[in-house]
Chain A
């Protein structure tokens, strides 16, 4: 494969942000097919349109996902990318690596693919971009035998679960997000590799309501850490914030002069539930009114911490707009223990209730959030065997169109119109 001229792409080698074009060119020195990535991309920049064909079905024996077929629509012009499949490798929880592992992955990909990757894909997988069909089985063999790693999910199955950094390096994590993510990924290997669902299904785990993995916006089953008891307050540290000895929000606002820190305005006044106040030198919080939004804790990390009676809230059914419009995940279980000791059986029980039902009634390419929309939240709650509680809604319904069940009405629905007519002439 010859070097390509890329006058348009070369414009993207300028500027302070790292350039993927420069990186591609560097890789092309060892992997000449990268010149064809550049060449085809240059043509797309010229034509203002993609030159990839609609994906084809490729894979490894026994798996229904993990590899996405990709073919150039100009294979003669760009033979290096004629076949250019994507491989999803399931990432370790919260994406720590050691260099031995990374180098082994690089060597594997140097041998079997283009050398280009996504670190990482949107769902969380480590994505290897561009190889041919004949490399798939050998690559999978080496991936599993030598690297002891496995493919991630694609298609109508469980997608590779993802989590925030959690207890590894965050003081706010209310449960072990990494252990939960890893534990459930291992528990559901079959569901991850062999599509049997109506559509994709995602788990995401955030350790607190800051929701750093966007579980609430992106996952069908969002597990988000929370706590039941009092926010832990270090009153001396509160005073240090008031005196300006500690920077607000952990130093997040250091680049601009916002004036001296004002606890009344910046913390108490912004608390959405107005549940905080000063009593002399003491900061008080009415725990029963607090909705655990994290604002005060974010602003004063050295003074405030989540409580110690921790667990998680489960919200179900988020998705991007295709097809029926975007949805956030709906609050389903206000508080659940997330316990590595019990191998997450509390979560597993809930997950399987959802799957059993959704696999039966979900339509083709219908995310679970859309199925819930279609049947209604009350029906979903019955499936989940949940008592109705006001926490599940923002407000009660404003229409009176209730689907009364026959057994809720004395005498049921069957009546005799002749009996009725005896008292009410036509």
Chain B
């Protein structure tokens, strides 16, 4: 998956869990953090669920706990692990 494909998918996921906020996510990049999205914890997990469905994979909870940036989520979507710096 290219970065553009991942960003497109993230935007779809965000539209799903935070409808009405599309403008906020218009210019989003993989450098953005999960905190930048300003979602509550339930919506964040829903977004993860949507992404898991789309890429047909289950992300381990311990890997999710390490996710800070959208790039970390992209790593999981590509089937690799999150690198903690």
Asked if A and B bind, the verdict is no
Chain A positions within 8 Å of B, measured between CB atoms, are: none
